[in-house]
Structure 1
Amino acid sequence: MTVYYVALGIGILAGIAGQMLLKAGADAPDFVSQLLRPSTLCGLALYGSAAFLYIIALRKIPVSVAFPSVSLSYAIVAVLGHFLFGESFGIKQIGGIVLIMGGVVLINQH
């Protein structure tokens, strides 16, 4: 069972890295050049990898546990967006992240 949780965890990390790379590629002058940027292509590849790892995780982890666990990526991306891209981060974001993390902890109690 541990291997499936590892696949889920690595999938979540791959999705986070993919999101950061997509954001890094978003400063292109137009949409076509944005799509062709190496950071965008790598970000999309990581999203694809995350999907395959998620499929592996779903073999043994109930979707009612696995899918909400992916929401951890929302919290991590918000924090990384603040530190890497200077995006706003205030009390509302902190409160939302605390709620997400609490929900994931509750859902993963067996």
Structure 2
Amino acid sequence: MTMTRDFKETVKERAGRDPAFAKALLDEAATLFLNGEPHTARLILRDLVNASLGFETLAAETRRPSKSLHRMLSEKGNPSMDNLAAIFGAVRKQLGVSIKAEAVSAG
């Protein structure tokens, strides 16, 4: 019998023990938002929040209700730019990283 692990649990466990992986998830979420893929970015960010600071701590850091944050980062969530900035800021602070956007020429 083959034993498998839940993908989300695997990601959560690895992000919790591997700071480089957690930082890569944050970078990927930011890149996806900037490249017009907010749906996937929200889901990655949700997994990262679960793996790093948790929604209760995020709620305290952002001064927003935990339930609202869960909705914002759900499949059908629609967070405002202010809320996204607050979420990214709290996760960035937790991971001890800075985010820098750079333009890449297409030619």
Highest RCO, 1 vs 2 (Cα 8 Å, sep ≥ 6): 1
If the length of structure 2 is used for normalisation, what is the TM-score?
0.39
Q: Which protein is richer in helix relative to its size?
A: 1
Please say which structure displays the higher CA radius of gyration. Answer: 1
